[in-house]
Amino acid sequence: MKKSLLLLTVVMMLGACASPTPEATPTPVPTSMPVATSVPRFLATPTPVALTETSFIEPIRKQIFDELVDAQGGISGNEEARATVAERWGISVDAAEEIISEGLEKGWLPAPTTAPPTATPIPPTAIPAATPIPPTATPIQPTQIPPTPIPPTPTPIPPTATPPQGTPPPKIETPMIAIPAGQFTMGSDHEIERPPHLVFVEAFEIDKFKVTNEQFERFVWETGYVTKAEKAGDTPWRYWANKNDTANRPVVKVSWNDAKAFCEWAGKRLPSEAEWEKAARGTDARTYPWGNEWEPENIAGGWNAPVGSNPAAASPYGVMDMAGHVGEWTSDWFQPYPGYPGGDSAAQYFGEKYRVIRGGGWSSSQELLRTTHRSASSETVANDDVGFRCAR
């Protein structure tokens, strides 16, 4: 409304300056000036008044300046926007440019520098007056900061496997039997023991007795070792040691990995299957460690018998308890012998999946106590009728 009154005033002033002759015809618009194709409603008069580009007084030029700025969104707007405003006011684009220059000179609108990015305004009521508005920061995406790697949680060691304080258990040195180098007949005509074949074995030494509970206890005391059965929450070796009420019995509930760890700690190793069989049967192909006849009294006692309880059952080399008592881990995979003809159900277990067990156990039958009998189990299995002895 204000704009309309101001423009009407200007029109009346300009009309007062026109020729007083009543019969005067309308002053023609100079041909050099563009004629506005549309005149704002508040400028429409019965008799058009010719307006030159320089006849606008400063308030009107300021209004034109404001419209030019508003229409183009800033001084650096496009030419089409300027032309539209100029046409509405009946002036040329050059005149519009002059008005812009004049406005900038006279401070109608300060000349902007590089315009900052337009920020979304924050309504005054959205933030309490007492709350300071922190500067907007670019959010850091979680993927830009790599997380600190978390190491795997170690398996907790049960209290029973922690080396006790105080006096250590005695360290028992096991005597070893020297087995000379040479050939012997390995295997038999029985199922997966086939075929009998000659095997050359280098000289080695083997423990005279199986590893006992007190020896294994010393190993655990020094190293803090935890057996597979203990980690699995199964009945541990200590249960059987305490049940036997003596330390001089074969340790059981030890896996192949447990047995291997003990032998390495002792500076030894598990015997190979061929070494074990040679130590048990000698070079005369015995069926049992003591000979070829079945003698039940020579069985190495039940599972609770101390090691070396029956000297009459010794092998040709003097190795004790190689039939009965508990079975013994060897270092070898359960593989067929060279020339094996096949045809046995147990052959399905051949391969690098199971480790060989020799010597039978306290509950084994006569058939399973022969020096050539072969059995096997997984490296991680721990039974109450399987122990071990070491070699080097």
The one-digit pLDDT tens for each residue of the chain (392 residues) are 434 434 333 334 434 333 333 343 444 433 333 333 333 333 333 333 334 444 456 777 777 877 777 655 455 456 777 788 788 888 888 887 888 888 888 877 654 444 444 444 444 444 444 444 444 444 444 444 444 444 444 444 444 445 455 677 777 788 999 999 999 999 999 999 999 999 999 999 999 999 999 999 999 999 999 999 999 999 899 887 877 567 889 999 999 999 999 999 999 999 999 999 999 999 999 999 999 999 888 886 565 688 998 898 999 999 999 998 899 999 999 999 999 999 999 999 999 999 999 998 877 889 999 999 999 999 999 998 999 999 99
Q: How high is the pLDDT of residue 390?
A: 98
- Report yes or no on 208 lying in a domain: yes
Cβ proximity of 35 and 29 under 8 Å: yes
At 365 the pLDDT is 87
Calpha distance 300→320 (Å, rounded): 8
Q: What is the pLDDT of residue 378?
A: 96
Give the count of alpha carbons within 13 A of 5, CB side only: 2
DSSP H helices, 246-383, are 256-265, 273-281
Whether residues 269 and 360 fall in one domain:
yes
Whole-number Å distance between alpha carbons of 240 and 249: 10
The DSSP string of 176-197 is: EEEE-SEEEEE--SSGGGPSPE
- Do both 93 and 175 map to the same domain? no
User: Residue 57: its pLDDT value, please?
Assistant: 66
Is residue 367 domain-shared with residue 294, that is, in the same domain?
Answer: yes
Amino acid residing at 246 = T
DSSP state string for 81-95: HHHHHHHHHT--HHH
Domain termination residue (choose one: 89, 105, 121): 105
Confidence (pLDDT) at 254? 97
What is the residue type of 231?
Answer: K
Nearest to 199 by CA among 93, 139, 277: 277
Which among 61, 89, 105 is the end of a domain? Answer: 105
Q: Which pLDDT score is estimated for 158?
A: 47
pLDDT at residue 103, rounded to an integer: 80
Place of tokens 């010393």: 218
The SS3 of residue 391 is: strand
Instruction: Evaluate whether residue 113 is within a structural domain.
Output: no
Q: What's the confidence (pLDDT) of residue 165? A: 58
Residue 345 lies in a domain: yes
By residue range, what is the domain housing residue 288?
164-387
Q: Tell if the pTM clears 0.85, that is, is over it.
A: no
Strands annotated E in 166-243: 176-179, 182-186, 197-201, 204-207
Query: Does residue 112 form part of some domain?
Result: no
Task: Give yes or no: residues 64 and 169 share one domain.
Answer: no
Question: Nearest Cα to 240, choosing from 383, 390, 360?
Answer: 383
Please give the tally of structural domains in the chain: 2
Q: How far apart are CA 16 and CA 20, in angstroms?
A: 9
Same domain, 56 and 169: no
In a domain, 155, yes or no: no
pLDDT of res. 93 = 81
Beta bridge partners of 178: 205
Burial grade of 73 (CB within 10 A; 0-12, 13-18, 19 or more): exposed
* Residue at 128 is within a domain: no
Name the nearest CA neighbour of 37 among 24, 48, 26. 48
Residue at 221 is within a domain: yes
Say which residues have a Cβ less than 8 Å from residue 210's Cβ, sequence separation at least 6: 250, 251, 307, 321, 325, 326, 328, 387, 388, 389
- How far apart CA 348 and CA 191 sit, in angstroms, is 13
Q: Which two tokens stand for residue 302?
A: 């039940």
Nearest to 343 by CA among 212, 193, 156, 225: 193
Domain membership flag for residue 122:
no
Asked if 314 and 196 sit in the same domain, the reply is yes
Please tell me the distance from the alpha carbon of residue 71 to that of residue 82, in angstroms, as a whole number. Answer: 7
Tokens of 48: 């058009």
Query: Residue 176 sits in a domain of what CATH number?
Result: 3.90.1580.10
Same domain, 91 and 212: no
Q: Which residue has the tokens 């096991």?
A: 174
Which one of 105, 126, 152 terminates a domain?
Answer: 105
Say whether both 249 and 360 belong to one domain. yes
- Rounded to whole angstroms, the Cα distance separating 23 from 35 reads 24
